[in-house]
Structure 1
Amino acid sequence: MNAGLADAPAGMIGEGVADPRARLMAAPMSRFQWMAVLLTVALCALDGFDVLAITFAAPAIAKGWGISKAGLGYVFSAGLLGMAGGSFFIAPLADVLGRRPLVLISLAMMAIGSFCAALAGNIPILLLARVFTGLGVGAMIAVINPLGAEYANERRREIALSLLNIGYPLGGVVAGFVAAMLLPAFGWRAIFLTAGVLDVVMLGVALLLLPEPMAFLMARPRADTLARANAYLRRCGHPPVEALPAAPVRQAAPTVQLFRDGMAALTIKATAIYLLYVMSLFYMQNWLPTLVADLGFSPAVSAGVAMLMSLGGIAGGLLVGLLASRFGLKPIVAGAMMLGASAIVLFGLVPADLLLLRVAAIVVGIALFAGMIGNYAVMSRTFPVRMRASGTGFVIGIGRLGSVLSPIIAGTLFAAGLGGMNVSAVMAVPALLAGLLLITFPVGAGERA
């Protein structure tokens, strides 16, 4: 027995005791479990709003402050740098302190960063605000994906994760709608003020309603674990248990475990796939409104076109969830990634026709977000529960650290005189490579281990 369980009540731990996690995984999902999954959808939507707020505000900021495209690339990258730090350094605490406390901390950081961005009077302050927002968003994204996997049963896990990650483009749709409505009358600062208010509201909701999942309760037992586990079971409509199975022996720090016992190759390959794909994804997310504005359209119209990319992302997320449950996760996600690469090139070829731009934005959103949402499902099956938040955080952290270069590379290419068509063709290559690499990835190997 672990030393950390010395204060556990008698009868709490027992060899050969039925595992309530297995009961939850096999039983139909309760209303309480679906409510928990929907909360993760709302949290992911808030992530999408906070991340994409800068992309919708960027054309107006560039016009008002006279920022070049190269400078705009650094503004975009500031949030990505923060997201890398949040995923890499803050998210692993969720495997120690719990999923719920990290969600609350992340929301508080996102709110502070958004309000500071709204009040920024110069580029350095705006950059710092975006880094701070990114820290919260990066930790949040890494934590809510394990949450979605742990709230769901075995049969509905892919659907739950697809719904969860549909929240990200849904947040983009809301951010685009808010930008299109507020930019003409109130300017770009109103977008960040709205984000901060939404962060504070969701902090209150999570404080009241977000539960700690059963998987984490049992992976990190303490004196009141039996009572907390039974409370969770009752809320799911299951009878309480008199004892819990013996807890796993505490091992090294979760991040260290990612490179032990056969996990190193999986971790490195999952990181490479994510890094390559987000380079292409964040190119389109950050630069699409500017690409449209360069064709002669106003910031508000550009925001509306970008919103359609997020709307297409919702459809892509639903589609990948439905198809993956029928045809398998890996072929659907790999195909979506390669289709996403093609869609990026396609968007670069579209002329200054608003209808064609809107259709192309929807196609890009369907393909790119199907690949990204499917990739999060792949990650949820790559790491065992004891290191799931750490593994997801490591992959996202390193991937986002690499993706910081994406807006900068694109901005440099634009500044060098390349047009949108050529830059888009270059930035589509990483997504193609990610899809090819995923074909050889053993999906589910870490979870089985």
Structure 2
Amino acid sequence: MFLMVLLNALDGFDVLSSAFAAPGIAADWGVERAELGIMLSAELVGMGFGSVILGGMADKFGRKLTMLACLVVMAIGMWFAHSSNTILEITIWRFITGLGIGGMLAATNAVVAEVTSKTGRSMSMALYVIGYPLGGVIGGFAAQGWLLVDYDWRAVFLFGSVVTAVMIPLVMLLVPETPAYFVASRREGALEKMNKSLVAFGKSAVAAMPVIKDTGTKPKVTDILAKPKLRKITLLLAFGYMFHTLTFYYILKFAPTIVAGAGFSQPDAASSLTYANIGGALGGFLFGFVMRQFDIKGPTIAAALLGVGAVAYFGLGHDSLWDWRVAAFLTMFFLNAAIVGYYAAFARGFPAYARGTGTGFVLGVGRLGAAGSPIIAGFLFQALGDEELLTVSLIMCSGAVLGALLLWFLPNDDADADIAAAELALDEAQAKAAAAG
């Protein structure tokens, strides 16, 4: 769990690195907001493709191998972004970085769902999700207090590349494949490999695989769109998440540029995003307790709508730096709490055999909203003028409203009771093995 939180924090920093660097890039190369918005969306577009393509890889080849491949792609993309000399070049490398980030999110989400108990899964998912803004917080303090002060925007990407590369041996040495993957895939030698994973997790080996009820047909990852119940869950989560990220990434991508445009220095402008991520981490953490008490759907809808109000407050504009920081803090406090709710719904909504694919598909569709957010906001600013901050903010709020509306129709129960039965059978098998010595 600790390593999954670290990997999600790494994803958070790698995604936000372009936002931290954006004011410097705009100043060095004379880039307008509309063109800057395209660069800011590049890794989000890549994340969409990566979530679908590499997310499916997690179900086919395993969670661990997928995470290692994604780390390599991310490290290469960040390295070449730091040495880019044109806006087109950096846009291409940000897209490539996004491919790795998208696959990483799908794989780590599946791991968290599969190494935690059903009773503790919502809290575990909350801890995992707040890793994303924590990465932004750590990266923000590094950017505003060191990288952008002693160096320039290129140092932000170089720092991200080095930290990403450091994670490769840690994952290789310390992260076992999940037993649930072997139960779901049932490949040749799966029992032996699963027992190695169980021992690595401090559990007893078992004599046989748990039995999954035979329904007459072998389940397939395409069930997320073929089975009516799973199709409903998949589409509601995918498009609800897509609309929510339209609002979410408006703040995450444009806050430093907006604050810099209000007359503050690049390090001060970057600090607004740092405080936004502090709010996101705190809101996500507290939301885990809320979900344990009130389940997932209702609190997630409430958090999204409160986030809409916070974005509108941000759009009013402010005179002091601390007012900007407070406004940014509030937006992410509520909007990231809703993200925690979505991720908890992903973990509950998809069975193990299609969890990586289902999560990857939802994240992939969701990235359409994330990728479109800075582009839409950039063109809105160009069309309406930078002084129309409130109007642009209110338009961008509509995404979270639509997302909350779609969540209203989401079923509350688990997607597949047979998988729950298999997990129980695995627990029973471990208990018997432990009792036998």
Structure 1 match to 2:434: none
Deviations 1:402-448 (A, max 9, x none): 43221111111100134211111110111012112212211334144
Residue type of the partner of 1:270? L
Structure 1 match to 2:197: 232
Q: 2: distance between equivalents of 1:78 and 1:205?
A: 28
Structure 2 match to 1:187: 152
Structure 1 match to 2:384: 417
Matched residue SS, 1:416 = helix
* Corresponding position: 1:400 with 2:367: yes
Instruction: Name which of structure 1's ranges 347-356 and 163-172 shifts more when overlaid on structure 2.
Output: 347-356
Residue type of the partner of 2:412? V
Structure 1 match to 2:432: none
Instruction: Name which of structure 1's ranges 161-170 and 418-427 shifts more when overlaid on structure 2.
Output: 418-427
Q: 1: distance between equivalents of 2:417 and 2:328?
A: 38
Structure 1 match to 2:324: 357
* Corresponding position: 1:120 with 2:84: yes
For the 8 Å contact 2:283–2:334, the answer to whether it is kept is yes
Distance 1:111 1:336, change over 3 A: same
Distance 1:423 1:448, change over 3 A: farther
Structure 1 match to 2:349: 382
Deviations 1:284-324 (A, max 9, x none): 11001111111100111011111000011110111110111
Distance 1:236 1:405, change over 3 A: closer
What is the identity percentage for the equivalent residue pairs of Structure 1 and Structure 2? 38
For the 8 Å contact 2:223–2:231, the answer to whether it is kept is no
* Corresponding position: 1:279 with 2:246: yes
Structure 2 match to 1:254: 221
Structure 2 match to 1:111: 75
Alignment of 1:60-75 (within 5 A): 60-75=24-39
Distance 1:161 1:69, change over 3 A: same
Could you tell me which of 397, 405, 410 is aligned with 1:441?
Answer: 410
Q: 1: distance between equivalents of 2:412 and 2:109?
A: 16
* Corresponding position: 1:85 with 2:49: yes
Deviations 1:82-131 (A, max 9, x none): 01110122211111101110000000000000001001011111011000
Q: 2: distance between equivalents of 1:106 and 1:179?
A: 24
Q: Which runs of 5+ in 2 are unaligned?
A: 419-437
Deviations 1:181-203 (A, max 9, x none): 21122100000000000110001
For the 8 Å contact 2:251–2:328, the answer to whether it is kept is no
Q: How many residues align?
A: 413
Residue type of the partner of 2:66? L
Q: Tell me how far 1:256 sits from its aligned partner.
A: 5.2
For the 8 Å contact 1:219–1:248, the answer to whether it is kept is no
Deviations 1:140-182 (A, max 9, x none): 1111111101010111111111111111000001111121121
Structure 1 match to 2:299: 332
For the 8 Å contact 2:46–2:102, the answer to whether it is kept is yes
Matched residue SS, 2:226 = coil
For the 8 Å contact 2:268–2:321, the answer to whether it is kept is no
Matched residue SS, 1:273 = helix
Q: Tell me how far 1:213 sits from its aligned partner.
A: 0.8
TM-score calculated relative to the size of structure 2: 0.91
Residue type of the partner of 2:13? F
Structure 2 match to 1:432: 401
Residue type of the partner of 1:271? A
Residue type of the partner of 2:163? L
Could you tell me which of 225, 233, 254 is aligned with 1:266?
Answer: 233
Q: Tell me how far 1:221 sits from its aligned partner.
A: 2.0
Deviations 1:233-292 (A, max 9, x none): 333443322222346778475135433253222211111101100010011110011111
Q: 1: distance between equivalents of 2:414 and 2:185?
A: 23
For the 8 Å contact 1:83–1:135, the answer to whether it is kept is yes
Q: Which runs of 5+ in 1 are unaligned?
A: 1-36
* Corresponding position: 1:174 with 2:138: yes
Q: 2: distance between equivalents of 1:328 and 1:398?
A: 25
Q: 1: distance between equivalents of 2:47 and 2:397?
A: 22
Q: 2: distance between equivalents of 1:295 and 1:447?
A: 51
Q: 1: distance between equivalents of 2:299 and 2:224?
A: 29
Structure 2 match to 1:14: none
* Corresponding position: 1:152 with 2:116: yes
Distance 1:234 1:253, change over 3 A: closer
Deviations 1:27-83 (A, max 9, x none): xxxxxxxxxx11110000000010000001001100110000110110111111101
Matched residue SS, 1:440 = coil
Residue type of the partner of 1:223? E
For the 8 Å contact 2:44–2:98, the answer to whether it is kept is yes
Pairwise CA RMSD: 1.6
Q: Tell me how far 1:230 sits from its aligned partner.
A: 2.3
Structure 2 match to 1:96: 60
For the 8 Å contact 2:42–2:371, the answer to whether it is kept is yes
For the 8 Å contact 1:77–1:405, the answer to whether it is kept is yes
Deviations 1:373-427 (A, max 9, x none): 2111111111111111101100111111243221111111100134211111110
Matched residue SS, 2:232 = helix
Residue type of the partner of 1:290? T
Matched residue SS, 2:361 = helix
Q: 1: distance between equivalents of 2:361 and 2:202?
A: 35
For the 8 Å contact 2:317–2:389, the answer to whether it is kept is no
For the 8 Å contact 1:381–1:447, the answer to whether it is kept is no
For the 8 Å contact 1:165–1:317, the answer to whether it is kept is yes
Q: 1: distance between equivalents of 2:3 and 2:150?
A: 32
Q: 2: distance between equivalents of 1:248 and 1:93?
A: 25
Residue type of the partner of 2:411? P
Residue type of the partner of 1:439? W
